[in-house]
Amino acid sequence: MEKEWRRLNGQRIELPIKEAVERTIVEEQALGNRLKVCIGTDSQVRGEEIHFATVIVFLRERKGGFMYIHHDLSRKEMSLRERMITEVGKSVEIAYALCDLLDKYDVALEVHADINTDPYFQSNVALREAMGYILGMGFTFKAKPDAFASSNCADKVV
């Protein structure tokens, strides 16, 4: 089943996400904008639910950016490590679905993980696994503090 996506202003994206992304790339490139796409996911535990937000961030070189947002939730109990890997899995799933399209239009792709590289932070327990997963899929990996798609954009909308 196709996931529901929306813009930051709440407007639903009616097209399948791959088609919407392609249309966006074509429109932005027609305007002369060079793009980079960053994909990230963040989550929050709220009572017995874990809320996830995955974002596709379109960065225009020197001209700002915008994002598409998808929300979902889980009622499954998860350890912090499992939740971090689930976040990465959601981002990789979207990156994998879009990577051929991004290659076609020569758009750079990064997958961002909301995982701290500092071992004093709890999220660090999943760093090696997440990095291996993302790099093993052939994607560019970013972690905190460089992972703004997950740790800033998705964090604000989860």
Over range 92-116, report the average pLDDT.
Answer: 96
Burial class for 67, CB neighbours closer than 10 Å (0-12, 13-18, 19+): buried
Instruction: Report how many domains make up the chain.
Output: 1
Task: Determine the pLDDT at residue 28.
Answer: 98
Per-residue pLDDT reduced to its tens digit, 137-146: 999 999 999 9
Domain of residue 127 covers 5-157
pLDDT beyond 80 at 1: no
Burial class (CB in 10 A: 0-12, 13-18, 19+), 56: buried
What is the average pLDDT across 1-23? 92
Least confident of 9-23, 34-48, 61-75, 122-136: 122-136
Which CATH number fits the domain that encloses residue 23? 3.30.420
